[in-house]
Chain A
Amino acid sequence: MNLREVQELFFGLITAPESVPKTLEARGETAREAVERIFAGDERMRSEERLDAYANMYFFRLRDVLAEDFERTAAVLGEARWHNLVTDYLLVHPPARWSLRWAGEALPAFLRGHACGAEGPWLADVAALEWARNEAFQAVDADAMHVDELVDVHPESWPTLTFGAVPGTALTSSGWDLAGWWIGGGTEPPAEAAGSQVLLVWRDAADDVRHEVLRGEETEAVRRLIAGAPFAEVCEAFAPEGTGEAEAEEAGRKAVELLLRLIELGIATLPETPR
């Protein structure tokens, strides 16, 4: 057996769903013989028990890291169900990237299709919000724009002007009032939202992660603005094409108000110096 084969055997055993002794029992005598031929134990502890120490550390490390990343989700599920969820999750989405901070990347979507998520469909939305907040907390630094940078913009340039958002800014949506539930901090289900509740998540200038509810047309306007759409398209989110001059003017005013708010919140960025 070459080095790679040894590592594949080791890794397969410590990441198996069952303990190493149980896994070997299921795999049969040949597997056990291979382990005894390659790994060393002694009278205090057999090699398979020693490998099992790694298996335990693999699982418990990830379970605990994920519980930190999804603190609210784990609290709602309770210890036993969280343990089961993570067990199932790691079998489908074992960590593949060099930092533990990405280990939970697929957990919100996984929870949506898992029995734990089916019990309370809102819980996957909580997990998605927690993940968005984690991403915002760790996102790389970037300078948010200042309102003074718009002073010299020629009026004719405004329709084609584009903006962005500081890294980590995200929109999450839910059919439940997660914003209210988050403040309450309980484990009971949140109230249903009237329609879909969209939350804007970002990290502010003091490096605190915040989220707030977007309402009505501003949701689409924010979506367009942070995606780098020309400002004219941001305005159109408030007044679809073909509406009258007065409505278009009102839409422009609302779009500027929104932009100023995003600047004040430390979210908006300017990819290029406007002229």
Chain B
Amino acid sequence: MRRPEGGERRGDRSEEVLTRAPFLGHGLGLRREHYAAILAGEPAGDWLEAISENYMGVGGRARAVLLAVRERYPMTLHGVSLGIGGTDPIDEGYLDALKALAAEVEPAWVSDHLCWTGVGGRTSHDLLPLPYTEESLANVVSRVAHVQERLGRILVLENVSSYVGYRVSTMPEWEFVAEVARRSGCGLLFDVNNVFVSATNHGFDPRTWLAAIPTESVWQFHLAGPSEMGPLLVDTHDHPVRPEVWELYREAVRRFGEASSLVEWDDHIPELAVVRAERDKAAAIAREILAEVRP
């Protein structure tokens, strides 16, 4: 299997732990609709991100494709069900299954979302926004510590899109996210589209985020296209990346430097070449901006 290069490793333990993001290049989300094209050798960028839950405890064709693709590409695992901001106990069975998958796939890193997903033993299968309070922050930080210990690796967390805010929040989202990273040592997956979506929905300047986030915490960028639902923008991943998001991505690259980027497309999925063209654009922008800032 190809392993990512770069990144710092902590200590001299036999199981080395990455403490800084390796640079994987510019990749795509692995989707069932593209399995055949990728297996047939059609290029899919520099690396692929697989949705963890689609392969945890699963066999058959999905697992066979995942392992075959992993032979050809660096990969990360991206979860949607960890519920790191939840108040139910963390599902240890979930962590066992994720750890087993990670042992098999050897991802460059494992990521999930900075959100909660359910309560009282029930799940919404959605990425629900947290109130940005000290209580919420302490809860996340403590759970990140547990997950990182159980997985034996740094957890990378993604900011989510939100459609409702909390009057009870005592700090803005960017401050909360930055504090989670500082206190827990987790990595951040800076979802550029999610920042744009939330900024549009709540009426703040998305560039505020850029100054607030510690540069060394950013392991990855996500890019995707949202949909309009009345006055809301919704993170549907079913459109091309918006011009405003490309512009914000430029500024993010300027601020955070070289970080792996990934284009997500989850609904009305077009052929691989269309998604790859978005990925090529992300790569070109990164090259252009990095050439400017590294004369």
Contacts and interface: CB of A to CB of B under 8 A. Distances in A.
B14 interface: no
Given A11-B119, A45-B230, A3 B124 contact: no
Contact of A54 (B121, B126, B136): B126
A10 B59 CA distance: 35
A203 B60 contact: yes
Nearest to A39: B164
B87 A7 contact: yes
Interface in B118-160: 118-126, 128, 131, 133, 135-136, 139
Interface stretch (B20-28, B61-69, B282-290): B61-69
Contacts of A54: 124, 126, 128, 163-164
Interface string A1-18: 111101110110011000
A4 B59 CA distance: 36
B111 interface: no
Given A6-B168, A7-B86, A138-B62, A100 B125 contact: yes
A15 B123 contact: no
Given A1-B168, A6-B131, A53-B232, A95 B57 contact: no
Interface string A164-188: 0001000000000000000000000
Nearest to B122: A94
Interface stretch (A57-65, A104-112, A218-226, A259-267): A57-65
Interface size class of chain B, counting residues whose CB lies under 8 Å from the partner chain:
35 or more
A42 interface: yes
A197 interface: no
Interface string B3-46: 00000000000000000000000000000000000000000000
Given A8-B119, A139-B59, A53 B135 contact: no
A27 interface: no
A96 B81 CA distance: 11
Interface size class of chain A, counting residues whose CB lies under 8 Å from the partner chain:
35 or more
B64 A98 contact: no
B63 A141 contact: yes
Contact of B53 (A15, A37, A61, A99): A99
B212 interface: no
Q: Which of A8, A54, A98, A137 has the most CB of B within 10 A?
A: A98
B135 A207 contact: no
A98 B164 contact: no
Nearest to A6: B131
Contacts of A142: 59
A61 B235 CA distance: 13
Given A3-B131, A53-B163, A14 B59 contact: no
Interface string B163-190: 1111111000000000000000000000
B146 to A, nearest CB: 16
Given A2-B135, A53-B234, A54-B128, A15 B58 contact: no
B267 to A, nearest CB: 10
A50 B60 contact: no
A153 interface: no
Interface in B167-221: 167-169, 201-203
A99 B120 contact: no
B56 interface: yes
B231 interface: yes
A203 B135 CA distance: 48
Contacts of B136: 3
A99 B56 contact: yes
A57 B167 CA distance: 23
B24 to A, nearest CB: 26
Contacts of B59: 138-142, 167
A154 B290 CA distance: 72
A159 B121 CA distance: 46
A98 B232 contact: no
B47 interface: no
A227 interface: no
Interface in A33-67: 36-42, 44-45, 47, 50-51, 53-54, 57-58, 61-62
B229 interface: yes
Contacts of A38: 131, 166-168
Contact of B120 (A2, A8, A100): A8
Contacts of B231: 44-45
Contacts of A39: 164-167
Interface of A: 1-4, 6-8, 10-11, 14-15, 36-42, 44-45, 47, 50-51, 53-54, 57-58, 61-62, 94-101, 103, 137-142, 167, 203, 207
6 contacts: A3-B135, A11-B119, A37-B167, A100-B125, A139-B60, A203-B60
Interface of B: 53, 56-64, 81, 86-87, 91, 94, 116, 118-126, 128, 131, 133, 135-136, 139, 163-169, 201-203, 229-232, 234
